[in-house]
Structure formats: structure tokens, C-alpha cells
A and B are shown apart, each in its own frame.
Chain A
Amino acid sequence: MRPRWRKVLHDLIDNKARTLLVVLSIAVGVFSIGVISGAYQIISNDMSVSYAANHPANVELRMANYNTDVLTSIHNAQGIGEAEGRRVNNFRVRAQGSDQWVALDVVALESFSKNQVNLLAPVSGAVEAGKDEILLEKDALKKLNATVGENLTLELSDGTLKELKLVGIVQDVSTGAGDFLAPPFAYIVMKTLPTLRQPELFNRAYVTVAEGQDDIANIREVGTALKDRLDKNGTAVSRTRFSETHKHPLADTVNAILGILLALGILIVFLSSSLIANTLSALLSQHLRHIGVIKLVGGRNKQVFAMYLTLIMAFGVLALLIAVPLGGQGAYGLALFIANKLRFNLLGYRIVPMALMIQVAVGLLVPLVAGLAPVISGSRITVLRALSGDLAGDENKPQAGKPDRLPWFDYMLVRVTRILAMRGIHIPRPFIISLRNTFRRRGRLMLTLFTLTMGGAIFIAVFNVRVTLHDYIGAIGSYFRADVTVDFDKTYRLSEVQKFGLQVDGVERVEAWQFIGTELLYPDGAVADNLNMLAPPANSKLVNPIIVAGRWIRADDVRKFAVSEAILNFFPDLKPGDSMYLKIKGRTEVWEVIGIFKFVGREGILAYTPFEYSSQVLNLTNRSSSYRFVTTQHDRATQDLMAERLDHFFRGAGFKVRQAESGLASLDTASESLDTLVVFLLIMAILTAIVGAMGLTGTMGMNVLERTREIGIMRAIGADDRAVMRTVIAEGFVIGAMSFGLAIILSIPFTYLLSTIVSLAVFETPIDVVFTYMGYAIWFGLILVLSVVASILPARNAARLTIREVLAYE
């Protein structure tokens, strides 16, 4: 090998700690970019492919009971491709040997073999259920501990128990996709319905359009026309849901979240490049003498440039060797995790060429960009300066043309210590030395502080975002403040439910709520969306709305409603006082909007109208099928217990109970998925913190190396190992503490930014930011530990230096 390349090779392998530091800092950036871009590519492709592969319905209709004749007419309607009728009922289901009831949506199909829409994919066991047999969707296994071959017990609404044989597990990625809160599914054949005392009639229709399956406007048009026809012909349609074939209903949310992660990944690359710039400029200044020698014996600028360029490219290549395989694995892992959460399939492990290219580009460009300036200035340095060891850029060395005076910081330090000393406060000498060292190389200090501060600010912000999200969920929970909700299969008088309910130990209050399923219409009569209208008593304390505009419902409101912000997606200029067309029980009515409130946008449009008025609409005075119970205690366990107790009690008293649910049960699912998001954010924050810590280690290492002579002199005048280590660790500590101060400030804008992006992605509305001391406390502890740990290695190296080595260093 030619000697100049041999020198490059030695530069690479002789200082392993430095090489490792540079390689790892590049690798962290490449890895995070690789994971996120890879996962993004895999998900954006597989999510829609896997969704489309199961022939998802473009229109889902919830309808009154109907028969095959009606299904045929749906089939023959204008613009319809496939149409499939099903019956969906909710049952409580129990596995063998368990007393845990789980609510399942049991879907009855006419024929498994003729299944055309919302296809079922086999997982294990049979793919078809015969009479009195049942298939489970694989997600149901998360709640129901059942094995193929055993009998499942279903509880009918009259309380009788029926057993169906579990013959297989299937996967259904279409039904309920896009609904975080949908219950798990089970599948039976229509012939089994009599066993469950249900009519052999459909109540759902899953329909694809013949053309324009990815054109939501077309789907809406065809679907609305179909619905109107059905309504006109006497089959009431209570709800419609439209979706494109090649777009998973949650695609936008997932993309938004990946976008946030990508932004953080880019930030990590940015931070790690500042770290690399730091290390490389230190490397170059340590190599000045070498450069001088090379030029002395005839080396030209471009030859020196090529040598050091090769060195930094080698760092990049080494980093790629580590980060590319890990990044590929990580990308698939992340994609798999998201796919499992959102119930879709991946097409199998693969390397994403685009992500690979991005990684290679980042891995080579980052060291190039970060190292170009020091390498260029290093290769241009004159022999004389290089050989005289005049460190380029040492700010505090007297330089030609600059007046010879104490640097401002040293001056301040002398003044402050003197003032303190006059008041009897003596700062220990080593600490002052550390402080001076800290500020000696201002450029390097700035870069280190920047990296650590960014890491800290993101870390703190993630904790704030977490609390903000939970606070919002809590606020959403204020729309569902009842401890237990009991739904019956038929309506009961309020006084009757009250009389029984209050007999149950722990029940404090009972409220009757009603529900009106309506549709929001455009002025031309087309359906904009479903509008779920809840009707609590106007003075109910079980709703605590966050009003954005207008007011809340009053008992004397007639044809008036308060509506969630989600309505603004359809009517952006809507104000309280405006009138809206609603389709209620097949009739088109004009209602007035009295107020707009905040609510999770994803869950569709929610509206409230007073019970006092809804009972007129529904013609149900003081009757309802849905009751809210307030219990004496409001913790989760009590609520669960009370739900169980009320369920039992009412069944025992002969009521037809559909289900009794504890209050916040549904919110758990929502905050669970938010926690997943927070975990990702936290991982990114930890990665930034790692980059910051590596930056600090590097800086401390360089500082110690450059002060070898000074440390030697300290030792010569009697400083022991511990004294030497103390000054170095104190220096790391000072940097850590300073970055903490800065991170506190920077975390505020970061919190706002991150909260806004996340809440827009998940809730489709900006939310109020909440701060928590948690992130600050944890980061404070972490930065202390990190800064000490980051200084220990350099400090030990410093303490190990013998006087002989120090003198040999020059």
C-alpha cells in the first residue's frame, strides 16, 4: 500500500475511540432516517395493498332488517359492483373455563365461499363455519383466550346461553378498519342465526362501486343515491360509511405520525453532523503537524485534501455498515408494529431501495458536509504554521493583529472570584480551572451545547406532549362522565330503571339518555356525513363540554343542537345561529346550531340536543333504552365492578340488558394508541439525547487531549489522580448544567410545535398545551448522569497520563 494511504488507514484504526465516536454519531443519524423512511415506504405501500387485497366495501350501510329481495335490488342499482348482505349483532362471549365476558360483534354471512367483499383471510383452522360453528377474527384473541376446537359460550339478550364451536381463526382487515374503538369480530353462517334467536335477515350491506373505486366523490354519489332509494322503498338506512379501495381509512393519520418521526430523524442527522463537524475539526487540528510534514516533503493541497476526504468517507462507509442492516430491520419492525396495531398486513420483509439510497446518501453526505470545511482549511494551511503547531482557530491564543489581553471570560471569572472572595466565598481552584477550560474553545462549546440542548428540549417536550394528549383525552372523557352505561334491548321507563338501579349498592344517581341517529345534509340534499346525536337531560352533570363557540344545550331548546368541531370539515364557515338540514327518521328537518364544542375529530360528528326535546322527536316520554349511572366511587376498578353488578342485577330483575359498560373503557383504547405514539417520540428523544451525550464525550476527550501538557504540569506540581479527574468531570458537569438551563427554555416552543402537529394528526384539531415537571425532572437527572459518565472516560485517560508521556506528546 502506498504510504499516504497507509497513513489514512492508521488514522482510522489507531485512535479507536475517536473512530468509534465519529462512526457511531453518523450511524445514529443514518439508522433513524433508515428506520423511518423504510417504515414509511413499507407502510404506505403495504397498508393500501393489504387493505385493497381484501376487496373492502366502498359503502357500508347500517340498515333495518331486510331480506334477499332487497339485497338483489341493491345489486341491481346504478353503479354498484358487488353487494353483500350480512347481519351483525353484539353478543357477550365467553371462552371455555373463563368467567370473563367479552363483547363481540358477531357477523353472519350468507355463504363463506361466495364471500366477495371484505374478504376473510385464513389464519388457522377452518375458513368456513358450518351450522352452530363460529370463526374468530384474530384480534379477538387479544381479549378472548380461546383455542380452535373448543366451544364458545354466547349470551343471548334474554339471558340464555348458547354454545358454538370455534372452528377457525381468520383475519378481516376491512370491517371496522379506521375505527379504533370497534369491538372485535366473530363470524357465523346465516343458518346459525336461529340458534341465537335472531331472524335470518340482513342488517348491513357491504357494497363496492362498479367504477371509480378510488374516487371518494363518486363513491359518495353512488352510495347516497342507493341509500335514498332504500329509504324510499321502506328499508331505513341508519348509517353510511364511505371509503376508497386503495386507501386505508387510517392512512392519513399514520402518514402524519410518520411525518413527525421523520422530522425528528432529520433533526438527529442534523445534530449528529454538528457532532461530527466538532470531532473532525479537532482531528484536523491535531493533525496539523502531519499535514506540515506531508507538505514539507512535497505534498500538494489536493493530495492532503484527498487523504482526509478518504478518511471521512471511510467513517461514513463504516457507519453505513452498521446502520444499514440495523435500519432495515428497524424499519420493518416499526412497520410491523404499526401494522399490528392498525390491523393490516405487511407483504413480508424486504429491503426498501429508496430507504437504502437515502441511508447511503445521508451516511456519505453528512460526514462530507460536516468535514468539508475543516478538511479544506486543513489542507490549505501553510507548512510553516502547520509545523510550528500553531493550532488554527484557537481563539484564546494571541494572534497576529489582535491585541494581547485576557479573554473576556477569564477576565469576568477573575473579577467574580475576587468579588466573592472579598465576601468570604472561596470557589475551589480546580473548579475555576474547569470553568476556564469549558470556555476555552468557544466554537466547540457552542456545538456541544447545541446538541445537548436539542436532545434535552425534545426529551422534555415529549413528556409535555404526553401529558397534553392525556389531558385532552381526559377532557374528551368529560363527555362521558358516567361511571356505568347500561344499554337495554328495549326501552324502559326512567322511573322503573331508577327504582331498581338505586337499590344497587354504590349507585348514586341514574340518568336516561337518548340517541338519535341522523344524517347531516348538504343544502342540495346530498348526505355530508352521519351525525350521532346524543340527548342527555339539559342539566346533566355527566357532560362537561369544552365550548369553542356559542352555548351548551338548554331544556327549552327546540330543534337546536350543539355540535362537535368535526362539522367544520364539511361546513368550514359554520357559526352558532346557522341552520342545518338534518335527516331524522327519514324526514328532512331544519335545525339550528347553538354551539360548537371540541371533540376527537376522528370519531365522526357528535351532537347534543336536550333529552327534553329528543323525547318528543322519538316519541318516548321519560323512556329510554340507554341509562347512565353515577356511582359513589369513580376509579376504574369500582366502575368495572359496578358494571358487572348492574348487569347482573337488571338481568335478574327481568330486564333485557344488551350491555353494561364502565365509563372510560373506550377511552383506554384511545390512550393506548396515543401511548404507542409517545413511545416512538420518546425513542427519538432518547436517540437525540444519545447523540448529545456522544457529543459531550467527544468534546471532553478532545479538551483533555489538547490539555495534555497542562495536565502534566498540574501533576508535576502535585495534583493527584482524583484532583485531575475532578477538574475534567467538573467541566463536563458545567456543560451539562448549562445545556439544561437552555433546554428548559427551548422545550417551550418545542412542546407547542410537537403538540400541535400531533394533535392535528390524531385529533384533527389543535389542543391546549399542558406542561409537566416530569420531563424536566427526568432530564435533569439524566443530564447529570450523562455529563458525568461522558467525562469519566476522558478524565480517566487524563489521570493516567504520566509526566513522561506528557513531555513526549510534543
Chain B
Amino acid sequence: MSSSIIELRNVSKTYSTAAGDFTALINVNMNILAGEFLGIVGKSGAGKSTLLNMINGVDQLTSGEVIVRADNENISIHTMSEDARASWRGKKMGVVYQSFQLLPMLTLIDNITLPMDLSDNYKPRESKERAMQLLQLMELEEHAYKLPAFISGGQQQRVAIARALANDPPILVADEPTGSLDSITADHIFEVFEHLITDQGKTIVMVTHDVGLVSRFSRSLTIADGELLSEAVPDTKLNQGRKK
């Protein structure tokens, strides 16, 4: 719990729309440490999703740098092509969204196997076994051959998390994963996340507008109008070390 796994330097994002340019992120600097459970909190429209999409490479930043140090590799994802980012993301970073984004025509187990199939990290037999283990982890093994439409929202979100873990990535980013779930179901998701951090050493970045969840993160940052306001658990020593 010491080294920085993701580093953002002066990240800005400007959307150009018909109404004119809109800057959704202004000079964001941050370090995400390996093994932490980082919460990014802010009001609707603050720029949380935008920030997350800079980290997972779904969107392209306007200026600045995003560097990810996963599995002893230093990757500047802002320099990669969209296509290269996709393949990198598939192996190194699991992504979970508020709307679960499962493929409706595939069974749960196939949905979880898909990232392994695409990355070719595992042999077909292995990947199937692994998908089953992940389903067991999520306590969903009896639903393995159902279609997403036939399970509940909370269950679907757990499948989405299992899929995000398919290629055993060191980092998990989640955008309002509990946003559409009731509090008991949401609790269950948090338990899963906590387990992933303590038992598997994953790093998790989670975005939420719910300030009440701050206590569940190991650290949380607030974002407002595209600017990072405060760090609840500042770690100046480490930041200084980084900026030399």
C-alpha cells in the first residue's frame, strides 16, 4: 500500500458542442495508490464520469497525462490509440457501469468468458472454469446458464463485476455501480469490493454522487465543476516523492 499505480498529471478535458466548448475537467492532478479503495465523490455534472473515462481510456483527454503502472509496466494511456487502449483495458482494468452493460443474448457465464475470449489470455477450457469460479465468488453459480434479463439488477451488477475481473486485472474502476440498487443490495456489492481489496490486493476506483458512502472508501476525493477539491486522506509525502 505504498506505490502509486495510476497517476494523472494536469488532465483537462474539453467537450466541443454546438453551443460552444465546455471544459468538464480542469487541470486534474492525482495519484491512485496500489491496493486502495478510492472514492470519487461529486454532484451530478461535476465531471466524475468524465474523470473515470480518462482513467480507463474510454475517452481521450484534451491535455495532460495519464500513466498507469500495472504489473511492472509503465503505460501512458493518453498516447495510445483507441484500439490499443481497448485491448490494454481488457487485460489490465476491469470496468463496471451503473447500467450493467451485459450482452443480452449471452448467458451469464458467456458474458464473463467474453473478455478472456477477446484477450486470449486463457484457453477456452480454463476460461470457462475461471468464469465459474468468479460466479461462485459472486454467489451466482446456480444462475450460470441464465440470460441477464432473468436475474435481478443486483445480481446483474455482480455479474458485471465478475466480468470485470475475468482477466484478473489489478485495477477495477466503477461508475456508480450501486446507483440503481437498493441499500441492502448495494451493501452486498461493497462487501464484494472490500473482499477484492483485502484478499486479492486489487485497486478499486469508484465514482458516486452519494456523500454518505465516503466512510466505506479507504480514501475519497471530491470533485466539483471539473476541479479536484480535497483529499480526505492526503498523502503529501508520496505526492512529493512523485513530483521530483
Say yes or no: A297 contacts B83, CB within 8 Å. Answer: no
Judging by beta carbons under 8 Å apart, are B18 and A4 in contact?
A: no
Given contacts A2-B117, A303-B118, A384-B58, contact A7 B18 (CB under 8 A): no
Q: CA A399 – CA B19 in complex, angstroms?
A: 11
A402 at the interface (CB under 8 A from B): yes
Q: Which A-chain residue is minimally distant from B164 (CB atoms)? A: A297
A window 249-298: CB within 8 A of B: 289-290, 292-298
Q: Are B115 and A297 in contact (CB under 8 A)?
A: yes
**Measured between C-beta atoms, what is the minimum distance from A778 to chain B in Å?**
44
Q: Is A781 among interface residues, defined by CB-CB distance under 8 A?
A: no
Distance in Å: Cβ of B112 to nearest Cβ of chain A: 9
Assess whether A7 is in contact with B86, with CB atoms less than 8 Å apart.
Answer: no
| Contacting pair B110 A3 (CB below 8 A) | yes
A653 within 8 A of B: no
Q: Which positions 319-348 of chain A face chain B at CB distance < 8 Å?
A: none
Q: Across the interface, do B106 and A301 meet the contact criterion of CB distance under 8 Å?
A: no
Tell me whether B46 is interfacial, beta carbon within 8 Å.
no
Inter-chain contacts of A301 with B (CB < 8 A): 83, 86
- Asked if A508 is at the interface of the complex by the 8 Å CB criterion, the answer is no
Shortest beta-carbon distance from A7 to chain B in Å: 6
Interface size on B, residues (CB 8 A): 34
Whether A298 contacts B113 by the Cβ 8 Å rule is no
Asked whether any CB of chain B lies closer than 8 Å to the CB of A403, the reply is: yes
Residues A400 and B86 in contact, CB atoms below 8 Å apart: no
B110 and A298 within 8 A (CB): no
Partner-contacting stretch, out of B29-37, B89-97, B134-142, B178-186: B89-97
> CB-defined interface of A7-22 with B at 8 Å, one 1/0 digit per residue?
1001100100000000
Report if A496 contacts B (CB, 8 A): no
Given A298-B91, A298-B118, A6 contacting B82 (CB threshold 8 A)? no
Chain B residues near A297 (CB, 8 Å)?
89-90, 95, 114-115, 118, 163-164, 166
Interface residues of B in 97-143 (CB under 8 A from A): 97, 101-103, 105-106, 110-111, 113-115, 117-119, 124
Say whether A6 contacts B106, CB under 8 Å. Answer: yes
Give the dominant DSSP class at B's interface: helix
Which A residues touch B215, using CB under 8 A? none
Tell me, yes or no, whether B63 is within 8 Å of chain A by CB: no
Contact residues in A for B101 (Cβ distance below 8 Å): 289, 292-293, 296, 387
- A297-B163, A299-B86, A383-B86 known; A4 and B118 CB under 8 Å? yes
Given contacts A293-B101, A298-B167, A384-B59, contact A4 B114 (CB under 8 A): yes
- State the CA gap A294–B163 with chains docked (Å): 11
- Closest-by-CB residue of B relative to A302 is B83
The answer for the CA separation of A299 and B166 in the assembled complex, in Å, is 13
**Which of A290, A387, A403 meets B18, CB within 8 Å?**
A403
CB-based contact A401/B16 at 8 Å: yes
Which has the most chain A C-beta neighbours within 10 Å: B91, B117, B166? B117
At the interface, yes or no: A417 with Cβ under 8 Å from chain B? no
Asked whether B27 is an interface residue with its Cβ less than 8 Å from the other chain, the reply is: no
Report how far A113 CA is from B32 CA in the complex, Å. Answer: 105
B19: nearest residue on chain A (CB-CB)?
A404
B57 nearest CB neighbor, chain A only = A383
A14 touches B163 (CB 8 A): no
Does chain B have a CB within 8 A of A707? no
For window 12-33 of chain B, which residues contact chain A by CB distance below 8 Å?
16-19
- B145-189: CB near A (< 8 Å → 1, else 0) gives 000000000000000000110110000000000000000000000
Contact string against A for B residues 32-55, beta-carbon threshold 8 Å, 1 for contact and 0 otherwise: 000000000000000000000100
Helix, strand, loop or mixed for chain A's interface? helix
Do the beta carbons of A294 and B118 come within 8 Å of each other? yes
In the complex with contacts A10-B105, A297-B95, A400-B118 CB distance below 8 A: no
A382 CB–B CB distance under 8 Å: yes
Q: Does B218 contact A (CB under 8 A)?
A: no
A145 to B91, CA, bound (A): 84
With the chains together, A38 CA to B12 CA distance in Å? 65
Q: Does residue A722 face the partner (Cβ distance < 8 Å to B)?
A: no
Q: Are A296 and B58 in contact (CB under 8 A)?
A: yes
The answer to whether A298 and B115 touch across the interface, beta carbons within 8 angstroms, is: yes
Closest Cβ–Cβ distance, residue B89 to chain A (whole Å) = 6
- C-alpha spacing A293/B166, complex, angstroms: 14
CB of B76 within 8 Å of the partner chain: no
CA distance A589 to B117 in the complex (A): 92
- A398 on the B face (CB < 8 A): yes
Interface residues of A in 368-395 (CB under 8 A from B): 382-384, 387
Closest A residue to B110 by beta carbon equals A3
Q: B18 near A400 (CB under 8 angstroms)?
A: yes
B87 interface contact, C-beta 8 A: yes
Interface residues contributed by chain A, number (CB under 8 Å): 32
Q: Check A6 against B16 for contact (C-beta < 8 Å).
A: no
- Let me know if B118 and A299 touch, CB within 8 A: yes
With both beta carbons as reference points, the residue of chain A lying nearest to B84 in the complex is identified as: A300
Contact in complex: B124, A7 (CB < 8 Å)? no
- Report whether A293 and B113 are in contact in the complex, using a CB–CB cutoff of 8 Å: no
Residue of B nearest to A4 (CB): B117
> Is B113 a contact partner of A300 (Cβ separation < 8 A)?
no
Complex CA–CA separation, A774 to B113 (angstroms) = 62
A14 to B104, CA, bound (A): 11
From A14, A382, A387, A404, B105 is in contact (CB under 8 Å) with A14
- Residues of chain B within 8 A of A10, CB atoms compared: 105-106
Complex Cα–Cα for A529 and B14 (A): 86
Bound state CA distance, A3 and B90, in angstroms? Answer: 15
Residues of B within 8 A of A14 (CB): 105
Decide if B103 touches A293 in the complex (CB within 8 Å): yes
The smallest beta-carbon distance between B164 and chain A, in angstroms, is 8
1/0 per residue, CB under 8 A from A, across B57-85: the answer is: 01100000000000000000000001100
Closest-CB distance, A171 to chain B (whole angstroms): 61
Residue of B nearest to A295 (CB): B86
Report the nearest B residue to A293, measured CB to CB. B101
Contact status B106-A7, CB under 8 Å: yes
Let me know if B18 and A384 touch, CB within 8 A.
no
For B93, the closest partner residue in chain A by CB is A298
Closest Cβ–Cβ distance, residue B171 to chain A (whole Å): 13
A2 — which chain B residues lie within 8 A by C-beta? Answer: 113, 117, 124
Q: Is the CB of A298 within 8 A of B86?
A: yes
Residues of A within 8 A of B53 (CB): 384
Q: How far is the CA of A3 from the CA of B130 in the complex (A)?
A: 14
A643, B199: Cα distance in complex, Å:
109
Residue of A nearest to B91 (CB): A298
Within the assembled complex, what's the spacing in Å between the Cα atoms of A300 and B166?
A: 17
* A376 CB, nearest partner CB in chain B, Å: 13
Docked pose: A250 CA to B197 CA in angstroms: 86
- Looking across the interface, which residue of chain B has its beta carbon closest to that of A290? B103
Q: Are the CB atoms of A300 and B16 closer together than 8 Å?
A: no
Listed residue (A14, A298, A398) with the most chain B CB atoms within 10 angstroms of its CB: A298
Would you call B18 and A298 a contact (CB within 8 A)?
A: no
Q: Would B103 and A298 count as touching, CB distance under 8 A? A: no
Which one of A6, A11, A298 lies within 8 Å of B89 (CB-CB)? A298
A65 to B227, CA, bound (A): 116
CA distance A2 to B91 in the complex (A): 18
CB-CB < 8 A to A402: which residues of B?
Answer: 18
- 7 cross-chain pairs, A with B, having the tightest CB-CB distances, nearest first: A298-B90, A10-B105, A3-B110, A297-B115, A3-B114, A295-B86, A2-B117
Interface residues of B (CB under 8 A from A): 16-19, 53, 58-59, 82-83, 86-87, 89-91, 95, 97, 101-103, 105-106, 110-111, 113-115, 117-119, 124, 163-164, 166-167
- Given contact pairs A3-B117, A300-B86, a sample of 17 additional A-B residue pairs in the complex whose CB atoms are under 8 Å apart: A2-B117, A4-B118, A10-B106, A293-B101, A294-B118, A296-B86, A296-B95, A297-B89, A298-B90, A298-B91, A299-B86, A299-B90, A301-B86, A398-B18, A400-B16, A400-B17, A403-B18
11 contacts between A and B (CB under 8 A): A3-B117, A6-B106, A7-B105, A10-B106, A298-B89, A298-B115, A300-B87, A303-B118, A382-B58, A384-B58, A401-B16
